[in-house]
Amino acid sequence: MRDPKLREIDERAFLRRLSPMLDVYAAAMEPPNEQLPGRHTIMERHASHPGFRAFVAERRGALPVLAGPVQGFAYGFHGTRGQWWHDVVFQALSDREGPGHARAWMDDAFEVAELHVHPDSQGRGLGRGLLNALCEGRPERTVVLSTLDRRPDTPARSLYRSVGMVDLLTDFEFPGGGPRYAVMGGALPLTPYAPASSSP
């Protein structure tokens, strides 16, 4: 079976792949089934955000395929005020460290909205490949994202730290409840093995 290949996709191709990408999301995150229609709507809306960029890891022309052609995906966009995640994180950073700290991280940020790899394909470097491809050549000054804060050494947290990202918020609960998240950020371009710091 061929290894998945990374491909950049435009907004239309992204929207055509929403169902298989949601399958990957569900397998990786194991959310309650009733949350998936809302996630579909959110992802559909994200595709119209400024500076939208998306990549998929796909198997093409390889049968049998155990988990479908889409094995991973990542996308993001330029964060601006008026976007829910951006405004919540900006306010939390401002409350904890002051408005200047929040502006330093959020005023010119590429926001990675989703990055997921199907469990059947994890451990092969797809997550790192998707993250690096997504952030390569971005014009923004910083990159920010949120990831589950189950523990500080999850594979996702370790990956983000390995490209120079640091914790901005931990044990953070977004409005509406749900699991706790860590919000992480780094300077662009990503630089593997960058030393940790508390400012972009």
* Stretch 17-39: mean pLDDT: 94
Residue 2: pLDDT band with limits 50, 70, 90: low
44-48, 115-119, 122-126: the lowest-pLDDT one: 122-126
Residue 60: pLDDT band with limits 50, 70, 90: confident
Does 14 fall in a domain?
Answer: yes
* Stretch 38-52: mean pLDDT: 97
Does 147 fall in a domain?
Answer: yes
Q: Which residues of 177-195 are buried (b: 16+ CB within 10 A; e: fewer)?
A: eeeebbbbbbbbebeeeee
Instruction: Give tens-digit pLDDT for 5-15.
Output: 999 999 999 99
Does 145 fall in a domain?
Answer: yes
pLDDT exceeds cutoff 60 at 67: no
pLDDT exceeds cutoff 80 at 65: no
Instruction: Give tens-digit pLDDT for 133-190.
Output: 999 999 999 999 999 997 778 889 999 999 999 999 999 999 988 899 999 999 999 9
Does 143 fall in a domain?
Answer: yes
Residue 54: pLDDT band with limits 50, 70, 90: very high
Report the first-to-last Cα separation within the chain, whole angstroms: 42
Asked whether 166 and 197 are in contact (CB, 8 A), the reply is yes
- Strands (DSSP E) contained in the chain are 5-9, 53-58, 70-78, 109-117, 142-148, 166-172, 181-187
183: helix, strand or coil: strand
The enclosing domain of 118 has a CATH number of 3.40.630.30
- Domain total of the chain: 1
pLDDT value for 68 = 66
Range of the domain at 144: 5-187
pLDDT value for 200 = 58
pLDDT exceeds cutoff 80 at 193: no
- Token code pair at residue 139: 């014009």
Does 164 fall in a domain?
Answer: yes
Does 195 fall in a domain?
Answer: no
Does 82 fall in a domain?
Answer: yes
Does 27 fall in a domain?
Answer: yes
pTM value is 0.90
Percent of the residues in the chain that have a pLDDT greater than 70, as a whole number: 90
